[in-house]
Amino acid sequence: MSAEAKLSIVIPLCNEAETLVPLYEKISTTADANDIDAFEVIFVDDGSTDTSWEVLESLKSEHPERIKALRFRRNLGKAAALSAGFEVTRGEIVITMDADLQDEPAEIPRFLEKLGEGYDCVSGWKQLRRDPLGKTLPSRVFNAATRVASGVKIHDFNCGFKAYRAEAIHSIELYGELHRYIPVLLAAEGFTTTEIPVEHHRRTHGVSKYGWKRLIKGGLDLITVVVLTRYLKRPGHFFGGFGLLSGLIGFAILAWLTADKIIFGSSIGQRPLLQLGILLVILGVQLVSTGLIGELLNFNSKSKGSNAPHVIEEL
């Protein structure tokens, strides 16, 4: 691998044995035609059960200086695969694309050109998406919801074809289904994202790994992302705010009941208000403590979570 790789292309894959060789060839042809010689392709095998890893081994032996391949013991999902790939990139620019040939490598120069305009991330937009309606329709709803919730105005958050300045991609952490929200996570760190329409091919080999189950998980992650990006930095403030409010109301109720008893001699033992007051004070203490624990965890986890333990083989 050339030490001065300027461009790193990260490709997560799970059971895509048929497309890996033609994909590498297309990338290589595009690079040659555009005088991009310092590049590396990082394949991350996300627990394939077909012959993908054997194909990668032979690709690696043919192009040892251009290819890097990582293998997970089992399927951990696209976000973990991307994240493991990012950890070993050396390029100043990082491109991600799917392994199934639905993304067109010939478009890489357009991404680089757009990135050159000063953006931190250029996201592909599959304007004419070649997937069944069962995928495209939920995806439209998902994109609209993400736009509204995040305030990031792009059309296709989930497109796997993206280009980044290395600094941007190394500043975020991915797990679960969070790869769908990279532009949102980047925006929270102050990085800019723009989009370019990209060609999208029909899947000709293998099968899609994304069904409705993953869509639901991805949808739930929207809540995580909104909380993460808006409040992650200060969980103490997020929970503490509610806790303080609840505690103060509870305390006011208890103070009023106490005054009522001392001044007017009313009995307070049987009043529902007493239970409410106690409940609110306890809730307040709990919420403030939760916030504090969040702050402590934040404070103590100085190093980023690494995917290195999941990688069982490396070429």
Tokens of 28: 């290589």
Question: Which entry of Mg ion, ligand UDP, none binds 194, CB below 5 to 8 A by partner kind?
Answer: none
> Contact residues for ligand UDP (CB under 6 A)?
12-14, 16, 46, 75, 77-78, 81, 98-100, 102, 160, 208-210
Question: Which entry of ligand UDP, Mg ion, none binds 294, CB below 5 to 8 A by partner kind?
Answer: none
DSSP state of 148: H
End-to-end CA distance of the chain: 11
Site for Mg ion in 95-134 (CB under 5 A): 98, 100, 102
**What count of Cα atoms within 13 Å lies in the side-chain half-sphere of residue 247?**
13
Q: Do strands 193-197 and 121-125 pair parallel, antiparallel, or not at all (unpaired)?
A: parallel
Nearer to ligand UDP, 127 or 258 (CB): 127
Determine the Cα–Cα distance for residues 149 and 173; give it in Å rounded to an integer: 20
Residues 48-87 as x/- pattern, contact with Mg ion by CB under 5 A: ----------------------------------------
Closest residue to bound ligand UDP by CB: 208
Q: Do strands 162-165 and 67-72 pair parallel, antiparallel, or not at all (unpaired)?
A: unpaired
* Cβ-Cβ contacts under 8 Å for 212 (sequence gap 6 or more): 138
Question: Which entry of ligand UDP, Mg ion, none binds 209, CB below 5 to 8 A by partner kind?
Answer: ligand UDP
Contact 56, 69 (CB under 8 A): yes
Shortest Å, Cβ 293 to ligand UDP: 31
Shortest Å, Cβ 196 to Mg ion: 19
Q: Do strands 311-314 and 67-72 pair parallel, antiparallel, or not at all (unpaired)?
A: antiparallel
Shortest Å, Cβ 23 to ligand UDP: 9
Shortest Å, Cβ 248 to Mg ion: 52
